[in-house]
């Protein structure tokens, strides 16, 4: 029997069908919506085979569980041998990797899917680069020794810091997102270096360890020590950064700090600098003066674990974290209104943690590179008390001997991090 539907019944069916399609589209959108909150780049010093490039493992962080999963095309060649440090440009579009054994820095463009695309490689002025930091305008690189013929492995001397200015594509000097160290750039800065020397030091060999530039880009700091005496002497070198990238020593620099400073970090307000001392097993805290001078804060130094090797300050919450290489732990601190640190807990990592970072998208996932463990430890950070909880399935396998970490937010916004 044939039944003819009324006009109202036909409309009802059309509306129902439309709603069904809309629901299906919404469901598909929910299924396909990414849960990736950040991409994390982990440099590993050892790759398969002799004289091979190091590698960069790329992980995506799940926003709900903190799970770190390698992207399908990971790892990527680092552009040189023995990558030891990384930095991200302020627009999160570039990753800079320091390859120590080849005396160079490789600049990678970062795709929207986290993939790396090598753009250019430049040599550093000195010998054996070991640390790097980026501001909006400049890249700061620290070399273990000053250039030949002044220094060599057979004739070691004090280290140095150099600056590479960034040049935008609109300059017509390059096609990459950021140019670095090209001949057409600022010749007064690129390829130049500033020695890290101390006139009153017991020897002529000052060993640099780390570099950090303030969030405002006005001052840059380098930790170093003189290992000649029976009890080493530690220093923080402070430089004001000029508009053209040139460096001027801050009055009173270098500042004495502990005996073997190993890492340093600053807060997002450019108000405080924190220096980890590997030999002293503690952290020194400093207030930054208007001219960049450092004044040690009350209560400093603050106790850490054995052989602290890396430090990071959360840019949104009042917490700091230190990786302790000998203890295989992370020490957590709360930060008071004066910048003082109060130890709140200790958390296990893999073997010999050497680098630490906080995700730049939400600022509550933390990751640690474990050099001898060949792993990355992941944690979720409580924004209420700074405590750490292991991320799902942590630790995560990396290539052999991971040395450095850096990260960008998945949506391409926010501030990239720098870690040593």
Q: What are the tens digits of pLDDT across the range 59-68?
A: 999 999 999 9
pLDDT level of residue 150 (50, 70, 90 thresholds): confident
- 101-122: per-residue pLDDT in tens? 999 999 999 999 999 999 888 8
pLDDT at 14: 42
Q: Give how many domains the chain has, as a whole number.
A: 1
Q: Residue 147 sits in a domain of what CATH number?
A: 2.130.10.10
**Angstrom distance (rounded) from CA 354 to CA 368:** 7
**Angstrom distance (rounded) from CA 78 to CA 74:** 12
pLDDT at 155: 82
Residue 285 lies in a domain: yes
Residue 264 lies in a domain: yes
CB 53 within 8 A of CB 93: no
CB 204 within 8 A of CB 196: no
CB 285 within 8 A of CB 339: yes
pLDDT level of residue 229 (50, 70, 90 thresholds): confident
Identify the domain containing residue 136 by its residue range: 35-419
Angular region, 144: left φ>0, alpha ψ -120 to 50, beta rest: alpha
**Other residues' Cβ atoms within 10 Å of the Cβ of residue 419:** 29
Residue 47 lies in a domain: yes
Q: Which residue has the tokens 């250039």?
A: 147
Residue 354 lies in a domain: yes
pLDDT level of residue 53 (50, 70, 90 thresholds): confident
Residue 22 lies in a domain: no
CB 403 within 8 A of CB 374: no
Phi and psi, residue 31, nearest 5°: -70, -40
Range 399-417 average pLDDT: 77
The C-alpha angle 216, 257, 347, rounded to 5 degrees, equals 80
Q: How far is CA 79 from CA 52, 55, 397, in A?
A: 10, 8, 21
Residue 318 lies in a domain: yes
Residue 30 lies in a domain: no
Residue 44 lies in a domain: yes
Range 25-46 average pLDDT: 70
**Angstrom distance (rounded) from CA 90 to CA 401:** 27
């Amino acid at each position: 029997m044939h039944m003819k539907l009324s006009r109202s019944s036909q409309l009802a069916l059309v509306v129902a069908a439309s709603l069904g399609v809309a629901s299906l589209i919404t469901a598909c959108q929910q299924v396909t919506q990414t849960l990736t909150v950040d991409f994390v780049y982990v440099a590993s010093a050892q790759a398969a085979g002799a004289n091979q490039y190091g590698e960069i493992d790329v992980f995506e962080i799940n926003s709900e569980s903190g799970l770190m999963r390698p992207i399908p095309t990971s790892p990527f060649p680092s552009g040189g041998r023995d990558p030891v440090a990384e930095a991200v440009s302020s627009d999160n579009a570039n990753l800079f990797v320091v390859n120590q054994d080849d005396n160079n820095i490789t600049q990678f463009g970062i795709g929207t899917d986290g993939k790396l695309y090598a753009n250019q490689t430049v040599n550093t002025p000195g010998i054996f680069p070991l640390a790097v930091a980026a501001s909006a305008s400049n890249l700061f690189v620290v070399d273990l020794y000053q250039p030949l013929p002044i220094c060599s492995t057979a004739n070691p001397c004090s280290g140095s810091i150099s600056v590479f200015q960034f040049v935008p594509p609109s300059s017509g000097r390059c096609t990459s997102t950021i140019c670095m160290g090209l001949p057409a750039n600022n010749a007064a800065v690129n390829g130049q270096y500033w020695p890290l020397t101390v006139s009153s030091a017991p020897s002529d060999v000052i060993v640099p360890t780390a570099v950090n530039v303030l969030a405002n880009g006005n001052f840059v700091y380098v930790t170093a020590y003189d290992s000649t005496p029976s009890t080493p002497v530690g220093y923080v070198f402070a430089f004001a950064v000029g508009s053209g990238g040139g460096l001027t020593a801050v009055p009173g620099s270098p500042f004495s700090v502990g005996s073997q400073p190993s890492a340093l970090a600053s807060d997002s307000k450019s108000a405080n600098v924190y220096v980890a001392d590997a030999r002293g097993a503690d952290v020194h805290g400093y207030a930054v003066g208007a001219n960049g001078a450092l004044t040690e804060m009350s209560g400093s130094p603050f106790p850490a674990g054995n052989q602290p090797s890396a430090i990071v300050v959360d840019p949104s919450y009042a917490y700091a974290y230190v990786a302790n290489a000998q203890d295989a732990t992370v020490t957590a601190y709360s930060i008071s209104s004066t910048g003082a640190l109060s130890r709140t807990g200790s958390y296990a990592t893999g073997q010999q943690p050497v680098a630490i970072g906080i995700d730049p998208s939400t600022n509550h996932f933390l990751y640690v590179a474990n050099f001898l463990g060949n792993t990355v430890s992941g944690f979720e950070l409580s924004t209420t008390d700074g405590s750490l909880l292991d991320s799902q399935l942590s630790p995560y396998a990396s290539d052999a001997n991971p040395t450095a970490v850096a990260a960008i937010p998945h949506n391409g916004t926010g501030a990239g991090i720098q870690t040593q």
